[in-house]
Amino acid sequence: MSEDDINEVIIIGSGPSGLTAAIYCARANLKPIIIEGEPSSTSDQPGGQLMLTTEVENFPGFPEGILGPELMTRMRDQALKFGAKFITNKAVKVDLKDKIKRVWISDDTNTEYLAHSVIISTGAKSLMLNIDNEATLLGYGVSTCATCDGFFFRNKTIAVVGGGDSALEEAIFLTKFADKVHIIHRRDSFRASKIMQQRAMSHEKIDIIWNTEVKKINGNSKLESITLFNNVLNKEYELDLDGLFIAIGHSPNTEIFKDQILMDENGYIQTNNGTKTNLDGVFACGDVQDHIYKQAITAAGSGCAAAIDAERWLNNNLN
Amino acid sequence: MITNLDERSFDEILFGSELPVLIDFWATWCGPCKAIAPILEEIDLEYKDKLSIAKIDVDQNQQTATRYNVQSIPTLILFIDGIEKARIVGSMGKQALLQKLEGLI
Ligand SMILES: Cc1cc2nc3c(=O)[nH]c(=O)nc-3n(C[C@H](O)[C@H](O)[C@H](O)COP(=O)(O)OP(=O)(O)OC[C@H]3O[C@@H](n4cnc5c(N)ncnc54)[C@H](O)[C@@H]3O)c2cc1C
């Protein structure tokens, strides 16, 4: 191992927070390496959660809105322009406790990367219902990606499970194709923003099923129906469906950091004093350390902060 | 280069190829399909002698998508002598994809 092999900074994850950190680190001439993740049909992919959405209407600077994947491609191009280096793999193992940090990736030889500092921006992954048949019928009526699969449900009856902004947005998007979209929510009110609630609740194709949980997914080679449980009436019943879209929230991608980085009881990384974690030279930004705001712009903002924190730390500790 | 099929050339390659055929059901508006495309190009080059890869746009060829009951994209179907041998739903990394094809090609 030669000194040349030790990078100044490795950024793990390439959502808005990781890419903003990449832009700042690259402009500061830190030659960042970004372990950007691997393709998937969930939000755990290069570009992160916004790769699965359509219009982003609240990112400042785009009064006419911008498509999520386009916004992320532009952020990546901006980082590339300043010399950031991207590795299209996942980090599968890390050792962050020592002075020199090690990160192993998911290629066939588990290549190891070394750095003086690490920025964690692994964001959050979508939760699944974890009930029988969900995994086997994924792609056969059950979906985690409305923008990919909505097309196959033209003139069909479908349901979206969830009550946050992403669930309502998916439901509204899916009305372009489906005849009827049920939103199934286990409480009696949504946590989504007012504007989304208004749009969903006033939509003629959308029907909301309150206080209700999905108990079973039924069908052999494709989805046929789901069994619902109304938790107020204590009543179970079946609903015939062609498609079921799952949007029940997110949990932080922090498995590989367990036992090294301090987290709260839900697995969010704890930061203090800006973006610092409990380990010297390790910083965290975006949804992986934020269970409150969870927005593209707050993720990007904290990515900028992490890059500045890392740069200062490198200046103080390496020179 | 991975050829883009239509309904007619689909049947030709399916039943005419000596090699196993992997078909990528995709569409221009599908992000995860874009992400897996360069990986398929790589595999196409590396496995030229073992596998023939082609793609079909579900938007332009809805009948074929319906015939094979494709309800999610990307969906990759592996055919040997025109018979479906395996189906891989969803985008993924190269290593994961090769693992799924292992033993089949
Ligand atoms: C459907 C949907 C619609 C949304 N719409 C909006 C909106 O309109 N406006 C808005 O402000 N916000 C919106 N959000 C929220 C916004 O997308 C998130 O707040 C934001 O993406 C968080 O950014 P992040 O960088 O922290 O992480 P993420 O976007 O979650 O990205 C995490 C990245 O880390 C990578 N990663 C994970 N594990 C590893 C690993 N082990 N190794 C390498 N890489 C890894 C992933 O592949 C991914 O690239 C939406 C979210 C969803 C799901």
- Model pLDDT for residues B74-87, shown as the tens digit of each residue: 999 999 999 999 99
Q: What is the dihedral of CA A222, A236, A197, A242, to 10 degrees?
A: 20
Would you call A148 a catalytic residue per the annotation?
Answer: yes
Chain B closest-CA separation from residue A73 CA (Å) = 11
Band the pLDDT of A18: cuts 50, 70, 90: very high
Residue B18 is among the residues annotated as catalytic for this protein: no
- Read off the pLDDT of residues A43-99 as tens digits, 9 standing for 90 and up: 899 999 999 888 899 999 999 999 999 999 999 999 999 999 999 999 999 999 999
CA angle B57, B89, A177 (to 5 degrees): 55
Contacts of A28 (CB under 8 A, 6+ apart): A307, A311
Which whole number is the average pLDDT over A216-226? 95
| C-alpha span between B80 and B22 (Å, rounded) | 9
Does the interface ipTM go beyond 0.85?
A: no
The two beta strands, A243-246 and A157-161, are parallel
Tell me whether strands B83-89 and B75-80 are parallel, antiparallel or unpaired: antiparallel
In a domain, B103, yes or no: no
> Coil, strand, or helix at residue A242?
coil
A38, A107 in Cβ contact below 8 A?
no
Q: What is the pLDDT of residues A103-125, one digit of tens each?
A: 999 998 999 999 999 999 999 98
User: Which residue do the tokens 């990759």 mark?
Assistant: B76
Question: pLDDT above 70 covers what percent of chain A?
Answer: 98
Q: Chain B residue closest to A89 (CA)?
A: B93
- Does a structural domain hold residue B102? no
pLDDT (tens digit per residue) in A137-185: 988 999 988 988 999 999 999 999 999 999 999 999 999 999 999 999 9
CATH code: domain A142-246 is: 3.50.50.60
Integer Cα distance of A306 and A99 in angstroms? 18
* Helix A296-318 vs helix A16-27: crossing angle, to nearest 10: 40
pLDDT of residue A3: 45
Residues 6+ apart with CB under 8 A from A21: A11, A32, A119, A121, A285, A303, A304, A306, A307, A310
* Ligand 1 touching residue A252 (CB < 6 A): no
Query: Distance, CA A207 to ligand 1 centroid (Å)?
Result: 28
Q: Which pTM does this prediction carry? A: 0.90
A51 contacts B95? CB cut-off 8 A: no
Class of domain A3-126+250-318: alpha beta
Rounded to a whole number of angstroms, the distance from the CA of B34 to the nearest CA of chain A is 9
**Quick check: A289 and A16 in contact, CB under 8 A?**
no
- Give a yes or no: residue B39 inside a domain: yes
How confident is the model at residue A41, as a pLDDT? 86
B43 and A CB contact within 8 Å: no
What Cα–Cα distance (Å) separates residue A278 from each residue in A17, A21, A281, A307? Answer: 19, 19, 9, 17
> What separation in angstroms does the CA of A49 have from each of A24, A55, A68, A267?
21, 13, 8, 18
**A48 inside 8 A of chain B by CB:** no
The answer to whether B74 faces chain A, any CB pair under 8 Å, is: yes
Q: What is the residue range of B47's domain?
A: 3-97
> Residue type for A267, please?
G
Task: Provide the pLDDT for residue A2.
Answer: 43
Average pLDDT score over residue span A216-230: 96
Question: How confident is the model over B20-56, as pLDDT tens digits?
Answer: 999 999 999 998 999 999 999 999 999 999 999 999 9
Sign of CA dihedral A268, A273, A279, A283: positive
Amino acid at A107: D
Angle at B91 between CA B93 and CA A119, to 5 degrees: 55
**Is B70 domain-assigned?**
yes
| Average pLDDT value over all residues in chain B | 94
The pair of structure tokens assigned to B62 is: 């809805």
Per-residue confidence band for A4, with pLDDT thresholds at 50, 70 and 90: low
Cβ atoms of A51 and A131 closer than 8 Å:
no
End-to-end CA distance of chain A: 21
- CA A32/CA A307 separation, integer angstroms: 10
Whether pLDDT at A136 is above 50:
yes
A275-291 pLDDT, tens digit each? 999 999 999 999 999 99
- pLDDT for res A47: 97
Kindly give the number of the ligand 1 atom that is closest to the alpha carbon of A294: 19
Residue B19 lies in a domain: yes
So where are chain A's domains?
Answer: 3-126+250-318, 142-246
Coil, strand or helix: which one is A25? Answer: helix
Phi, psi of A72 (to 5 degrees): -70, -35
Do the domains A142-246 and A3-126+250-318 match in fold? yes
**Whole-angstrom distance, CA of residue A231 vs CA of residue A257:** 37
Q: Is the peptide bond before B74 cis (omega within 30 degrees of 0)?
A: yes
The number of domains in chain B is 1
CATH number for the domain harbouring residue B75: 3.40.30.10
